[in-house]
Structures are given as structure tokens and as C-alpha cells.
Amino acid sequence: MTASLLKATPDTQPDQVVLPNPKQNGVPHVGRMTWFPYYAGFSSVFVDSVLRDLRCSSKTTVCDPWNGAGTTTQTAFDAGIPSIGFDLNPVMTRVALARTVSAQSAGVTAEQHRSLISDARRRRSQKIHADDPLRVWFTDDVVRGIRFVAGAINESCDTTVERNQKALHETAVFRTMKAMLTPFRSSNPTWIRRPESNQRVCGTVRGFLDAYDETAQSMFADLRDEAVDTTMSEPSVWIETASSLKLPVKECSIHGVIGSPPYCTRIDYAVTTSVELAYLGYDITSSERSMRHSMTGTSTIRPKQPKILDAWGTTCCTFLNAIRRHPSKASESYYLKTHLQYFDDLYRSLQEIFRVLVRSGDSLLVVQDSYYKELHNDLPQIVAEIGTAIGFQLENRQDFPVTLDMARVNPKANQRRITNRPVESVIHFKKPK
Ligand SMILES: C[S@@+](CC[C@H](N)C(=O)[O-])C[C@H]1O[C@@H](n2cnc3c(N)ncnc32)[C@H](O)[C@@H]1O
């Protein structure tokens, strides 16, 4: 990695990095990018531009510690660059994996689908467990159809089936369920209403299987429509369910990190995928609270509370003390705790990124500011301060106004805090030589 990110434009100093807006707005989504729209995602145009500027090649590895729907890993994969992506949510791991099925493998994956859909159609009895979390959303016949497909996927995806191909079959289930649950969604993309039991989505086993087949076929068509570069060999890609606080990667092994940590806006990333998690057997309302606890930005309170560290920087410590002193109800008893958890996770994740990067390696992080009541949570500044305290050189920062603001789509948002439009920033750190 070099300082070759530097580009001179009339508005910038010659030694400043110019980065494109990370947001997806205005960027047409096609093919695999459309498979699982993720409000929290950044654009492949942004990732592609960073990969070029960092001069990534087939000999360098990039990592996204919060890989989400896999924009970083898909873009690197398409460019022939080895990549690694982690996310704590096993649903997002599946989606990101599915997006690395290449156009060349479309035929064999479609063949697997033909065999598993006929297996699912042949199944006759499937005991529905009383505590199957899918029963929150769907009536028993629909759940039976979903479980027929799940059984066929799990039994037919043996060692000859690649992980990403299996993930594609599962992502087709996620998409089919999501389409059926449209009535329970609102303008807030992070929210899905839990229906009363008499309002659950009803249908037949056959209806679900037909819808699933149609979704899968559209995904194979997406793959077939992609241009195939037969001269490029497929780069290695490793996508795993893991925490950014403990990256399962050796120190000094990653050349570039591109990622966006969860926003500090009380978005519960596990809740937003509760239906897909239910398919995987997780009931986030009961037994699986531990997954919600471990998510950065969780609104649940963990059993052990971290202490403020000086290394979090002046901006962070001042902000946390202002929350502690805030007169509003629950500021000190609840909101201070969720913010402490958030910044502790962020600090430990940045330490991990520093550990795994090679010397002179680059890290490009996309972060967004927000408000707690009228208090400004200047996350870009906080990240810059934490990063420098850890030992990074702060190379540059670019700010972009945000058009889709989660505080505005959330009907419960406090109106006082939304007069200022949030800013999304790209922070460029370099690990010293
Ligand atoms: C802002 S999103 C990233 C979106 C991604 N850049 C994309 O384009 O799809 C943040 C992601 O971090 C994940 N996450 C939350 N806490 C995590 C943790 N401690 N370790 C790893 N991933 C985490 C969430 O599940 C979510 O998918």
C-alpha cells in the first residue's frame, strides 16, 4: 500500500486524498447487488474506487470487519482481489457469501437448485416444532414449506457444494420470505412489525415452493446476465461469522481495511433480520439475546459495563460526561450504558484493525455522526481521535451530507435532534512503517 491515494483537484491540497461518496444513492443496483438491499450498506463504486487508489492486486488482501451484505467482498472478488469479510450476524454472512458465486458457477448452482426443489416438492410430512420462531410470522403450512426447503438444502448441500453456493440457496429463501412479509414493513427499513397471531402470512406449502423457485430462477438469471471475464482466475475469499473485536486473522497480514462500523443510532442489527434469523433457528426475543448483546450498537444492556478510557479521546469523553449529566429520564441509567458499550467496542475493533494490518497498510472507515437529544455525537472526530491514540496516522477525512437519515425515518425519533442533517465521513488511517 502506498500514499497513492493522493490526488490533486482544484479544491484540495495536493497532499489530500479525494474519495467518492460512500452512499448508494444514485448508483444503479444490478445483478447480485440487488439480492439483499441493505440500508446500512455502502456502494460498490466507493469500494472499487478505494481498491484502485490503494493499488490492490491479486497479491494483496483486503478485509471488512463489518462486512454486512458483502459490498467489500463482492467488489474485491469481481476485481480479482483476495478478500476477507466478517460479520457477527450469520444472516449477513450468508448473503455476503452468496454474492461471491461467480457467473461461471451459475450453471452448476442452478443444477443443485433443480435437485433440491424437486426433493422439497417430494417431502410429505414435516413436524413443525411448537417453538419454531418462524411461526411468529407465518401460518403452519407456510412454515412447513420453508422447512421442506431448509431440509432439502441442508441434506443436499454435502461436501461437493461450495459454502457460497449453499448460501445462495439460503439467500433465495430469505428473499422469498421477505417478499411475503412486505405488509409488515414500514418506511423505516430497519423495522419489521411482529403480526398478531391471526394476522400471520398464510399460504400453502406449494405456494411457498413455487415462490422460492421463482426467486432462485431470477438469481440465476442475474448471474447469467453478468459478463464473464474468462482470463481472470477467481481470487480467494473468506467470509465468516466473527466479531470485529476479535478478528480471527494473524497480525500484520492484511493490506487494506475497508468498512463501516454500525451506526451509533440505536439500530438493532439483529432485530432488522429477525425473520431470516428465525429461519436459521435463532429466536432473538428469547434464547438468542446473547447475539443481540454482542452486536456493536445494541440497545440491550450487557451484564458487565466498561469504564471510560482516556484513549477514547476528549470528544468522546466530553460527550459521555454530557450524557451522564443530562437531565432527561434514563440518560444516566440507560443511555450512558449503551453509549459506553458502543465506544468500548469501537475502541477494541480499531485496536484489532491496527493489529492485523501490515506496516504502511491503509484503513478506510465510513462513519456517520448523530445526536443524543441535543448533544452532538461527532463520531468521525471520535474515530479520528481513537485511531491516533492507538497509533494510526490520520491521512485524510472527507465529509458527505446524508440523504437517508435513520433518525428521520424512525417515527420515535426526538424531533429536537433532527434539525441538523447528519454527515457521513470517510476516515483514512495509515499504520506507520
Ligand atoms: C454499517 S453495517 C455494514 C454494511 C456493509 N458495509 C455493506 O455494504 O453491506 C455494519 C454491520 O456490522 C455488523 N456488526 C455489528 N456488530 C458487529 C461486531 N461486533 N463485529 C462484526 N460485525 C458486527 C452488523 O451486523 C452490520 O451488518
My answer on whether 42 and 114 are in the same domain is no
Q: At 11, is the pLDDT very low, low, confident or very high (cuts 50, 70, 90)?
A: very low
Hey, what amino acid is at 376?
A: H
* Position 315 pLDDT exceeds 70: yes
Q: How far apart are CA 217 and CA 238, in angstroms?
A: 26
Q: Is residue 18 part of a domain?
A: no
Q: What CATH number is given to the structural domain containing 74? A: 3.40.50.150
Q: How far apart are CA 195 and CA 154, in angstroms?
A: 29
Q: Check residue 8 and give its pLDDT.
A: 32
My answer on whether 247 and 331 are in the same domain is yes
Residue 117 CA neighbour count, 13 Å, CB half: 21
* Position 223 pLDDT exceeds 90: yes
* Position 268 pLDDT exceeds 90: no
Average pLDDT over residues 336-353: 97
Q: How far apart are CA 110 and CA 165, in angstroms?
A: 9
Phi then psi for 53, rounded to 5 degrees? Answer: -60, -35
Q: Is residue 15 part of a domain?
A: no
Q: Check residue 189 and give its pLDDT.
A: 67
My answer on whether 159 and 45 are in the same domain is no
Number of domains in the chain: 2
Q: Is residue 11 part of a domain?
A: no
Q: Is residue 94 part of a domain?
A: no
My answer on whether 251 and 137 are in the same domain is no
Q: What is the DSSP-derived secondary structure letter of residue 331?
A: I
Average pLDDT over residues 171-179: 97
My answer on whether 152 and 58 are in the same domain is no
Q: Check residue 21 and give its pLDDT.
A: 84
My answer on whether 277 and 421 are in the same domain is yes
Q: Is residue 5 part of a domain?
A: no
My answer on whether 119 and 79 are in the same domain is no
My answer on whether 297 and 392 are in the same domain is yes
Q: Is residue 399 part of a domain?
A: yes
My answer on whether 248 and 374 are in the same domain is yes
Report the separation in Å between the CA atom of 422 and the middle of ligand 1, taken as the mean of its atom positions. 19
Q: Is residue 14 part of a domain?
A: no
* Position 33 pLDDT exceeds 90: no
Average pLDDT over residues 406-427: 64
Q: Which residues pair with 138 in a beta bridge?
A: 201
Q: How far apart are CA 73 and CA 180, in angstroms?
A: 28
Angle formed at CA 342 by CA 340 and CA 346, multiple of 5 degrees: 115
The last residue of a domain, from among 196, 225, 254: 225
Report the separation in Å between the CA atom of 69 and the middle of ligand 1, taken as the mean of its atom positions. 8
Ligand 1, residues at Cβ distance < 6 Å: 38, 40-42, 65-66, 68-69, 71, 86-89, 92, 243-245, 260, 262, 269, 295-296, 345
Q: How far apart are CA 19 and CA 5, in angstroms?
A: 8
Choose which residue among 269, 299, 379 to substitute to test ligand 1 binding: the one with the highest number of ligand atoms within 8 A of its C-beta.
Answer: 269
270 Cα nearest atom in ligand 1:
25
My answer on whether 220 and 319 are in the same domain is no
Report the separation in Å between the CA atom of 81 and the middle of ligand 1, taken as the mean of its atom positions. 21
Decide if 216 contacts 169 (C-beta within 8 A). Answer: yes
Cβ-proximal residues to 118 (8 Å cutoff; 6+ apart), any chain: none
Q: Check residue 419 and give its pLDDT.
A: 56
My answer on whether 195 and 109 are in the same domain is yes
Report the separation in Å between the CA atom of 29 and the middle of ligand 1, taken as the mean of its atom positions. 20
% of the chain residues with pLDDT over 70: 89
Q: Is residue 202 part of a domain?
A: yes
pLDDT digits 0-9 by tens, 92-142: 999 999 999 998 899 999 999 999 999 999 998 778 899 999 999 999 999
Report the separation in Å between the CA atom of 269 and the middle of ligand 1, taken as the mean of its atom positions. 8
Q: What is the DSSP-derived secondary structure letter of residue 19?
A: -
Mean of the per-residue pLDDT values for the chain? 88
pLDDT digits 0-9 by tens, 203-218: 999 999 999 999 999 9
* 70 vs 9 pLDDT, higher one: 70
Cβ neighbours of 395 (radius 10 Å): 18
Whole-model pTM?
0.92
- Domain range spanning residue 306? 31-89+234-430
Q: How far apart are CA 335 and CA 404, in angstroms?
A: 24
Place of cell 472526530: 381
Q: Check residue 179 and give its pLDDT.
A: 94
My answer on whether 241 and 336 are in the same domain is yes
Query: Which is nearest to 146 in space by CA: 217, 205, 213, 218?
Result: 205
- CA 213 to each of CA 44, 83, 154, 343: distance values in angstroms, whole numbers, following the listed order: 28, 31, 17, 44
* Position 1 pLDDT exceeds 70: no
The last residue of a domain, from among 175, 193, 225: 225
